[in-house]
A and B are shown apart, each in its own frame.
Chain A
Amino acid sequence: MKFLFDSDTWQEIYGSIRKNKVRTGITIIGVLWGIFLLVVLLGAARGLENSFNKAFGNFATNSVFVWTQSTDTPFKGFQKGRRFRLNMKDIQVLKSEYADKIKLLAPRNQTMNLIIKDFKSGSFKVSGDFPVLDQIQKKKLIYGRFLNQNDITSSAKVTVISEDIYKQLFEKDEMPIGENIKINSINYKVIGVYEPSNTIDFDGDTAYIPFSTFKKVYNTANNIDWMMITANDGIDIEQMESDVLLTLKNLHKVHPEDDRAFGSVNLGKEIAKFTGFLTGMQFLTWFVGIATLIAGVFAIGNILLITVKERTKEIGIRRALGATPKSIRQQIILESVFLTTVAGMIGIILGATVLMIIDKFFGQGEDATLVNPTVNIPIILAAFTTLVVLGTLIGLIPAHMATVVKPIEALREE
């Protein structure tokens, strides 16, 4: 190992690199390109994944939405085409039957209404909700707060409105909290204003009022329009979806095979499709990156081999002057390792620079397509180590070639 720290060793390598600028350049570019691609592709894939996660970020992704449609199979004396509604009893049953699986359960009722404030008005969605909604679909509040349990218990006439509703109904810079607005001719006190979500959102501009208030005002009795269910971590959301639907079919006397009676969307499944795409992309990235890297290393080996042939005479001279096969081998391998290392480092630096530029142009702002495109240090280190190891191994071939010929044969070479 002493030879590694010997300035002469490096002097020799510097000499041979300086002499073979073109070859050195090509070699470096080969490996550099490989690791550069790997870094940039992995970073971009990560960025895409991040922006995707961000889009779903305010949403618990292991969620199912369930609503009713109409039956398509006659069952237990009912004809097909029967319409029916979900109700609070279903919620009770689901909550107790799936106590260990359901994390959050939000029954919801919604309608469209005219909302008036002084001389301004607009038609908006009105939604009767429980405070739990805020956990399933996070609301960013600009003013005030979201609905709470007290509002439910007291069936308070309070509302949380979207920023757009606020802008349409209020004067600029007017303080909305505590002000009254009329929804369907009934006064509600504004207790909060929320920012529109920049990610996916199923409600749009909505005025949220307590579920209990909605029930009274719109006479919905125990009925509900639809529900959002979020599963505990680690629960198979697809399994839960079919289990819940079966329970509901049972409760509503719907044929177990009836596929039309209930409508449902499994957010987890939709996301899984996309995640699968992302995984595929990452796999492709790795494949392309590693293939390029290996190609680069082989290029080094190949070029070293050519060089060794070109330098056969020089190696012959060195051997006539007393160079041992070991010292020749060491030099060639070290040259290979040195070239791969330098190329690898430049590749990583360039890759990181490009990622920084990508981040600057595509990673900023709310609707960024590539959020925080980064690559893990351990991954880079692993790629780098592989590179150096491959560089060493591939250097062995020309190193061996350089020493198998007799010195006189090497010298005779022209």
Chain B
Amino acid sequence: MIRIEKLHKSYPIGKDSLHVLKGIDLHIKEGEFVSIMGSSGSGKSTLLNIVGLLDIHDEGEYYLNGQLIKDLNEKKAAILRNKFLGFVFQSFNLISYKTALENVALPLYYKGMNRKERLKVALDYLDKVGLKDWASHLPNELSGGQKQRVAIARALVTNPKVVLADEPTGALDTTTTDSVMDLLKDINDEGMTVFVITHEEEVAEQTKRIVRLRDGVIISDTLTKAAKAQ
């Protein structure tokens, strides 16, 4: 599903450049549930953004669903994101003036689905994350956990190949963290590839594979107990 080889990424800072990813090799197969761990500034988000086609890498190769990602224009990138990827962010990134239902339905709008159908599908997904009754509420009327569940519904609504989550529980307390992780596990159980960034061991333990980053290189890549138990 995701295949990364000798990937490098630097950020220009003034005249210098900051070498953030220094040759990453990573292969994630369909249906995996992977977490990336590492201290702050180790390049986790950078990696995820490249995988999510929100940013571009400098060197190395990246294949998404077998397709080499190279010299992609924004239009093609937008279509690939819409088709293959679902995003979950730490700060939820819901659109404040749209209801929960409309937020979930938005990716389908860019897919070209008509409004009626869109809202119907979106409602199904809201139901799936247990928020059917909150469909007509605006984001600021929802709790943090609810917001993140709406965001997850939005990430799933186009039925993507991979769900990418950058510290999805970073802004949540323990109970809501568990409910969000349970949701991600359910999704993974249904066959979805899930790729999470976290710096909480308890969260990482609930995934099936942990990749540890330090200073832009992978220092370990192990299966969790949960995976071994299966």
Contacts and interface: CB of A to CB of B under 8 A. Distances in A.
Contacts of B89: 411
Contact of B79 (A318, A322, A408): A322
A302 interface: no
Interface string B39-67: 00000000001001011100000000000
Nearest to A18: B97
Nearest to A20: B97
Interface in A319-359: 319-327
Nearest to B102: A15
A320 B87 CA distance: 7
B107 A324 contact: no
Contacts of B93: 313, 317, 320, 411
Interface in A359-414: 403, 406-408, 411
B70 interface: no
Given A7-B115, A327-B110, A411-B93, A320 B52 contact: yes
Contact of B55 (A8, A18, A321, A408): A408
Contact of B115 (A8, A407, A408): A8
B226 interface: no
A11 interface: yes
Contacts of A18: 97
B106 A321 contact: yes
B217 to A, nearest CB: 22
B97 A317 contact: no
A322 B111 CA distance: 8
Nearest to B48: A408
Tell me the dominant secondary structure on chain B's binding face: helix
B98 interface: yes
Contacts, number: 70
A200 B115 CA distance: 69
Interface residues of B, number: 31
A406 B72 CA distance: 12
Contacts of A19: 96-97
Interface string B69-111: 0000011011101110001010001111110001000110111
Nearest to A406: B55
Nearest to A311: B95
Contact of B95 (A7, A317, A322, A408): A317
Interface string A110-134: 0000000000000000000000000
B154 interface: yes
Contact of B158 (A322, A323, A326): A322
A8 B113 CA distance: 10
Interface string B143-179: 0000000000010001000000000000000000000
A318 B106 contact: yes
Contacts of B52: 320
Given A11-B115, A322-B107, A406-B54, 17 more contacts: A8-B109, A15-B98, A314-B95, A317-B94, A317-B95, A318-B95, A319-B78, A319-B81, A320-B81, A321-B106, A321-B107, A323-B110, A324-B75, A324-B78, A406-B55, A406-B56, A408-B55
**Which 3 A-B residue pairings sit nearest by Cβ, starting from the closest?**
A322-B82, A19-B97, A322-B110
